[in-house]
Chains A and B, each alone.
Chain A
Amino acid sequence: MVIAREKKILVVDDETSILTMLKEIFSSEGYTVRTAESAEEALNILDGESIKVMFFDLRLPTMSGIDLCWKIREKDQISIIYAFTGYSTYYGLLECRAAGFDDFFVKPVETKLLLQAAHDAFEKLERWKVRYYELV
């Protein structure tokens, strides 16, 4: 029996219209989308459920996307985490890599690229057979 596994994505951005738009895009491809407007809200969601693919805006109120990534990486080295930001430079890229982001996108990101990134992430997780080791 083949059970279609739920592919969950967590999107964090302080701007609700961005969240709405991204949710619509990912949902259109069959992904389950969780949204959070702050790092704290994101951590709460992650406490309650296992999500292995994430997109964070870097500029968030109180805790930044960078710090959120550091925090998650303390316990979770497997999840695929993407940064996307309104403005960044080479040094921003370095900081993102150091914090543990897998990739880095500068807004506006093409929808195709976002979907490709999500697709690649789940393909990787599948290849790594992550679900055999932990509950996905």
Chain B
Amino acid sequence: MKIVESEKSESKDKDNQGALQDLLFAVLDAMPHAVLGLKDRLIISANHAVETVFGWKPEELVGQSTRVLYRTDEEFEEIAKRFYPALEQRRTFFDEFPCRHKDGRDIVCMVGASRVGELLKERMIVATYEDITARKRAEEELREYRGYLEKLVDVRTNDLKKANELLKHEIIEREQAEELYKTLAEKSITAVFIIQDRKFRFINTTAISYAGYTPEELIGKDSMILVHPEDREAVKKKASEMLRGKDTTPYEYRIVNKQGQVRWIMQTITSIQYEGKRAILGNAMDISDRKRAEEEQHRREKLQSVLEIAGTVCHEMNQPMQIIAGYSELLLMKTSENDPIYKKLSAITEQIRRMSTITRKLMMIKDYKTQDYIGFSRIIDIHDDSDIDSEGSEKKL
């Protein structure tokens, strides 16, 4: 502790006072903060800690203006404006203030000041300087780090929010897609089904209506059970070609439903993933009506050509038959029953009658039997199709 020594005294009182002063000086020297005695901004005493805080030795500072402790003239004035008016009002005052180290470094100090005596005479004060630069920096860093953390949290929160919204959106879209898919599959007017490992996994209402079975009767069953036995090989071949992309045209085949009815189906299939495994999605339509119409058309055309042939045959055959019949009957009328020729003439007449029965049946052809409409070639049953009673022994033409 250095002090201006101009006022030393030799008296005993002064000795006692000196002991007290020594104690005070020892206390001040033990303090980690710089402690300065100031009189009108002139340093009149300084403890050892000034060196730690400011780099100045106490003896370098004593006698100097406190200006050396600040960075600029403006700041030197500024701190005076803050402290002295305050100290006129109260005994002590504290404030943070930027200071300057001897080596030119900027430091931040917590400056404390207490006036000496009841009144602030000659601006006599004791000032303490605590270097809080490191703490300030730590605080600043902490603040910055907190700011950074807050920003980070904000960004993360935002990201999370966005991700959440995206997820929600995706869930909604997915739910809508699933709903759409379900509706499409369930309410489709075409049959929709899924086959996995050769077994039915899904089958919609329309498909159920084609098959005539309940869903329980079909799910898990071999997908071939519905296919007409005669069409199974062809269906397997077509399906395989379509799955390999070789043929994209829908194929037609017959199914036999639970009631034993044969229905014509037109179908396309495609490969899909179903519950994580490869499966076949099938789309099918009942084309029995179209097939029936086609067959009906075909049958009509056949009937038309049969009628044309029948017409020609009748016309061409009946003319000569008329002549033979006319003459043989005329001869018969003029021949006695006892005449050996009579029997022969009778036979001729009888055979002509048989032939005329046949041509008459040809003329009466109206239709084919309806149960013959699909896929079989038959001869025309003129006995069933015409109204003329059979006289001859021939049943088929």
Number of chain B residues whose Cβ lies closer than 8 Å to a Cβ of chain A: 25
Q: How far is the CA of A86 from the CA of B334 in the complex (A)?
A: 27
Which stretch (A18-26, A37-45, A63-71, A120-128) binds chain B? A18-26
Determine whether the beta carbon of A108 is less than 8 Å from that of B330: no
Are B321 and A107 touching (Cβ within 8 A)?
Answer: yes
The answer on a CB contact under 8 Å between A18 and B333 is no
A107 to B325, CA, bound (A): 10
Q: Does B315 contact A (CB under 8 A)?
A: yes
Whether A89 pairs with B322 at a CB distance below 8 angstroms is no
Tell me which of A87, A112, A114 contacts B315 (CB under 8 A): A87
- Kindly identify, within residues 54 to 77 of chain A, every residue whose CB is under 8 Å from any CB belonging to chain B: 59
A87 CB contact (under 8 Å) in B311, B333, B353: B311
Q: Which of chain A's residues has its CB closest to B331's CB?
A: A111
Given contacts A24-B330, A108-B356, whether A86 and B319 have CB atoms under 8 Å apart is: yes
The listed residue (B311, B315, B322, B356) touching A21 by CB distance below 8 A is B322
Minimum C-beta distance from A93 to chain B (A): 11
Say yes or no for A17: interface residue by CB 8 A criterion: yes
Are A106 and B318 touching (Cβ within 8 A)?
yes
Quick one: which of A63-118 are within 8 Å of B by CB?
A: 86-89, 106-112, 114
Contact B315 A108 (CB under 8 A): no
Chain B, residues 307-325, CB within 8 Å of chain A (1/0): the string is 0001100111011011111
Q: Given A25-B326, A89-B363: A108 and B311 within 8 A (CB)?
A: no
- A108→B352 contact, CB < 8 A: yes
In the bound assembly, the distance between CA atoms of A107 and B360 in angstroms comes to 9
Would you call the interface of chain B mostly helix, strand, loop, or mixed?
helix
**A111 adjacent to B329 (CB under 8 Å):** yes
Q: How far is the CA of A24 from the CA of B310 in the complex (A)?
A: 30
B322 contact set on A, CB distance < 8 A: 18, 21, 86, 107-109
CB of A111 within 8 A of CB of B333, answer yes
Q: Which residues of B contact A111 (CB under 8 A)?
A: 325-326, 329-330, 333
Contact partner of A86 (CB less than 8 A), chosen from B314, B325, B326, is B314
Q: Which residues of A contact B330 (CB under 8 A)?
A: 21, 24-25, 28, 111
Q: How near does chain B come to A26, taking the closest CB pair, in angstroms? A: 10
Q: Are the C-beta atoms of A17 and B325 separated by less than 8 Å?
A: no
Instruction: Name the contact of A107 in the complex, choosing from B311, B318, B329 (C-beta under 8 A).
Output: B318
- Nearest B residue to A20, CB-CB: B323
A92's closest neighbor in chain B, by CB?
B363
- Nearest chain-B residue to A22 (Cβ)? B326
Shortest Cβ distance from residue B279 to the other chain A in the assembled complex, whole angstroms? 59
B213 within 8 Å of A (CB atoms): no
Name the residue of chain B whose CB is nearest to the CB of A21. B326
Asked whether B148 is an interface residue with its Cβ less than 8 Å from the other chain, the reply is: no
Q: How far apart are the CA atoms of A22 and B126 in the complex, in Å?
A: 167
B145 beta carbon closer than 8 Å to chain A:
no
- In chain A, residues 3-40, which have Cβ atoms closer than 8 Å to a Cβ of chain B? 15, 17-18, 21-22, 24-25, 28
Is there contact, CB below 8 Å, between A21 and B363?
Answer: no
Q: What is the CA–CA distance of A22 and B321 in the complex, to the nearest angstrom?
A: 13
27 contacts between A and B (CB under 8 A): A15-B319, A17-B323, A18-B323, A21-B326, A21-B327, A21-B330, A24-B326, A24-B327, A28-B330, A28-B333, A86-B314, A86-B319, A87-B310, A87-B311, A87-B315, A88-B363, A89-B364, A106-B360, A106-B363, A107-B356, A108-B321, A108-B325, A109-B322, A110-B325, A110-B329, A111-B330, A114-B326
4 additional A-B residue pairs with CB within 8 Å, beyond A88-B363, A110-B329: A24-B330, A107-B322, A110-B353, A114-B326
Interface residues, chain A, CB within 8 Å of chain B? Answer: 15, 17-18, 21-22, 24-25, 28, 59, 86-89, 106-112, 114
